[in-house]
Amino acid sequence: MACHCSFLDVLAVISTLLAVGYAYIKWKYSYWSRKNIPYIEPSFPFGNLPNPFFGGNPESFGDRTTQLYKEAKAKGYRHLGMYFMLRKAYLVVDLELVKNVMTKDFQHFVDRGVYTNEKDDPLSAHLFALEGKKWRNLRTKLTPTFTSGKMRAMFQTLVDCGLVLEQYIEGLSNTKEPINIKDVLGCFSTDIIGSCAFGLDCNSFEDPNSPFREYGKKIFQPYSKLRSFFRILMLQNYSLARIFGVRQTKKEASDFFMKVVEDTIAYRKKNNYVRNDFLQLLTNSKEGKENDGDMLTMNEIVAQSYVFFIAGFETSSSAMTFALFELSMHPEIQDKVRDEIRTVLAKHDNQMTYDSLNELKYMGQVIDETLRKYAPLSFLTRECVEDYKVPGEDFVVEKGTRVLIPVRGIHYDEEFYPNPEKFDPERFTEENKKNRSQYTFLPFGEGPRICIGLRFGIMESKVGLTSILRKFKVTLNEKTEVPLKMNPRAIVTTSEGGIWLNLEKL
């Protein structure tokens, strides 16, 4: 039968479809209004997300959530409704709600809502991203690998890497040339994580193009506009993304880390070689030597080694970089840190030991203040896994709702941190910390999903800072643009243009 549809008929169908689509979008964007929750007016298609394609002055989503937190707090709101494209999101503002989500009522918000694809991208199934029972089981298996005893066992490896850093800095200081400190500390972090996570000597200072260093850089390269768009799409429907085999990890990086771990484990088993590192602890779990025989699979071992690498590679090097930047701007604080280092080490035969670094209380305050100003992640996510009645509100957070914790917004809240732009380690004396809620400081998260490796990260930062500050004076080089400008598309907090310092041997 011949089709006699006219142009007007086709136009009518298109018009009907557009009308239905418009009505659907309008209905989706009325969710928070229907719930009588204060919200930010969205715009199609990105909702309240920054548009990754347009705008001469790009804004990160971290910037956006920080500003929204500030505005909501000023209006006395406890929470705020938002949209990720068409998907609803819930921004918690009141600290009591932050506590409920992260700790008190954690069973309703167990998951981070991070995309994983174990079939096509096994490295994505790591502790940070896993959900529900899988997360609980793996957290239980891994917790014993970060005890004080295990940290002590790995400590000498950090000290050895610190000595290499010292020698490298001394060579650079003799040239009187400015130093891009992030690159130098990136090599230091690569050597530490390569050794502690994979049992390999990366020699990044001798070979800055070593595979570990190169893959580390690639993983943390700022997203292109197109990749940013695809990441936004992934947030909409994880099931569909898995059907299409969407990956979080580039295949070449996945293949590299998989081969490194498999080859290293095979070598150790064949040669009966044992080393005090993270990979050995995971291998023991694989063979049922720890955790009551609850064994890890090879894919689990590779995924955890990978996330240990990416977490330690970027966050610790960034924390040390920003700390040295602030110390170069505040020489009186730098002198106080150096005096503490010399006083404490003098009691330990001028040697860095696990105990001596734990005595560096003021340096700990400097690191904490650095993490307050430059938290690695400007916001954290949770996903509601079970309907949750908000205490004191006639509102239920529905299962499947994305929940946002505005870390940077809280860290820069004048109620908790007066004059928040000022770098002031005194905020983190024991007395001052007691006068604030623990939920005002969230660089590592809080509650059951707090970063499992936070003590290792602090230990690494203390070794790096001690190695530099005990022998070198740090000043700011004119190549560094002040105030720092952060890269809006970087995965973790990163400055644009590098941080250039002068290091003078004392």
Tens-place pLDDT, residues 292-325: 446 778 888 888 888 888 877 788 899 999 999 9
Q: How many domains does the chain have?
A: 1
Q: Say yes or no to pLDDT of 495 above 70.
A: yes
Q: Of 287-291, 337-341, 460-464, 479-483, where does mean pLDDT reach its minimum?
A: 287-291
pLDDT at residue 19 in the model: 72
CA distance 76 to 417: 18
pLDDT at 338 over 50: yes
Q: Specify the pLDDT at position 232.
A: 64
- Give 205-262 pLDDT, tens digit per residue: 888 777 877 777 777 665 566 666 666 666 567 887 788 787 877 788 888 888 888 9
Position 1 scores a pLDDT of: 46
22 within a domain of the structure (yes/no):
no
Mean local confidence (pLDDT), 29-45: 91
Q: Select the more confidently predicted residue: 224 or 110.
A: 110
Tens-digit pLDDT profile for residues 49-105: 777 665 545 568 888 899 999 999 999 999 999 998 888 999 999 999 999 999 999
Q: Which has more pLDDT, 471 or 200?
A: 471
Cα–Cα distance measured from residue 319 to residue 373, given in angstroms and rounded to the nearest whole number: 10
Query: Mean pLDDT score of the chain, rounded to an integer?
Result: 87
Contacts of 454 (CB under 8 A, 6+ apart): 444
pTM value is 0.91
Alpha helices (runs of H) in 87-147, residue ranges in sequence order: 95-99, 132-142
Name the token pair of 7. Answer: 């142009």
> What pLDDT sits at residue 9?
64
293 C-beta neighbours (distance < 10 Å), count: 9
Least confident interval from 204-208, 331-335, 425-429, 459-463:
204-208
The reply to whether 2 falls in a domain is: no
Coil, strand, or helix at residue 203?
coil
Q: Where is average pLDDT lowest: 20-34, 284-298, 422-436?
A: 284-298
**259 belongs to a structural domain:** yes
pLDDT at 54: 57
Confidence check: pLDDT of 143 > 80: yes
The closest of 26, 34, 23, 89 to 404, measured between CA atoms, is: 89
Judge whether 472 lies within some domain. yes
C-alpha–C-alpha distance, residues 374 and 367, integer Å: 10
What pLDDT does 357 receive? 95
pLDDT, residue 18, reads 73
- Quick one: tokens of 315? 């966050």
How many Å apart are CA 117 and CA 333, to the nearest integer? 46
- How many residues are given for the chain? 506
Residue 12 lies in a domain: no
14 domain-assigned: no
The letter for the amino acid at 293 is G
pLDDT at residue 134 is higher than 70: yes
> Does residue 28 form part of some domain?
no
pLDDT at 294: 60
The residues near 105 (Cβ < 8 Å, ≥ 6 apart) are 388
**Residue 58: cis peptide before it, omega within 30 degrees of 0:** no
pLDDT digits (tens, 9 = 90+) for 447-483: 999 999 899 999 999 999 999 999 999 999 999 999 9
Q: Is the pLDDT of residue 503 over 60?
A: yes
DSSP 295-352: PPPHHHHHHHHHHHHHHIIIIIHHHHHHHHHHHHH-HHHHHHHHHHHHHHHHTTTT--
What pLDDT, in 10s, does the model give residues 382-421? 999 999 999 999 999 999 999 999 999 999 999 999 999 9
| pLDDT for res 4 | 58
Cα 295 to chain centroid, rounded:
27
Domain range for 434: 36-505
Q: Write out the two tokens for 69.
A: 């937190």
- The pLDDT value recorded for residue 291 is 47
Does residue 27 lie within any of the structural domains?
no
Task: Please report, for the domain that includes residue 464, its CATH number.
Answer: 1.10.630.10
439-457 pLDDT, tens digit per residue, is 999 999 999 999 998 999 9
